[in-house]
Amino acid sequence: MKCVDDFRLRLGKHELVPIMVGGMGVDISTVALSLEAARLGGIGHISDAMVPTVTDRRFNTKFVKDKLKQYKFNVENADKSVVKFDLDILAEATRLHVGSAMEAKKGDGLIFINCMEKLTMNAPKETLRVRMQTAMDAGIDGITLAAGLHLGSFSLIEDHPRFRDVKLGIIVSSLRALQLFLKKSSRTGRLPDYVVVEGPLAGGHLGFGMDWAEYDLATIVAEIRAWMQAEQLDIPLIPAGGIFTGSDAVGFLENGASAVQVATRFTVTRECGLPEKVQQEYFKATEDDIEVNQLSPTGYPMRMIKSCPAIGDGIRPNCEAYGYLLDANGSCSYIQAYNREVAAHPGERRIKVMDKTCLCTHMRNFDCWTCGQYTYRLKDTTRRNEDGSYQILSAEHVFKDYQFSKDGKVALPD
Ligand SMILES: Cc1cc2nc3c(=O)[nH]c(=O)nc-3n(C[C@H](O)[C@H](O)[C@H](O)COP(=O)(O)O)c2cc1C
Q: Whose CA is nearest to atom 4 of ligand 1?
A: 24
What domains sit in the chain, N to C, each tagged with a CATH number? 4-273+386-404 (3.20.20.70)
24, 115, 281, best to mutate for ligand 1 pocket (most atoms within 8 Å of CB)? 24
373 CA closest ligand 1 atom index = 26
Closest CA to 410 of 380, 371, 372: 380
User: Sign of dihedral through CA atoms 301, 295, 377, 21?
Assistant: positive
How confident is the model over 147-174, as pLDDT tens digits?
Answer: 999 999 999 999 999 999 999 999 999 9
Q: Whose CA is nearest to atom 7 of ligand 1?
A: 24
Which stretches of the chain score pLDDT less than 70?
none
- Per-residue pLDDT at 385: 97
- Per-residue pLDDT at 280: 98
Q: Whose CA is nearest to atom 6 of ligand 1?
A: 24
- Per-residue pLDDT at 271: 98
Quick check: 290 and 282 in contact, CB under 8 A?
no
Rounded to whole angstroms, the Cα distance separating 100 from 103 reads 5
How much is the CA Rg of the chain, to the nearest whole Å? 21
- Per-residue pLDDT at 400: 98
pTM: 0.98
- Per-residue pLDDT at 135: 98
- Per-residue pLDDT at 93: 98
Q: Residues enclosing ligand 1, CB less than 6 A?
A: 22-25, 28, 47, 49, 114, 116, 146-147, 171, 198, 201-204, 240-243, 261-264, 267, 370-372, 374
- Per-residue pLDDT at 413: 97
Rounded to whole angstroms, the Cα distance separating 41 from 18 reads 9
How remote is the CA of residue 265 from the centroid of ligand 1, in Å?
10
Strand, coil or helix: 137 = helix
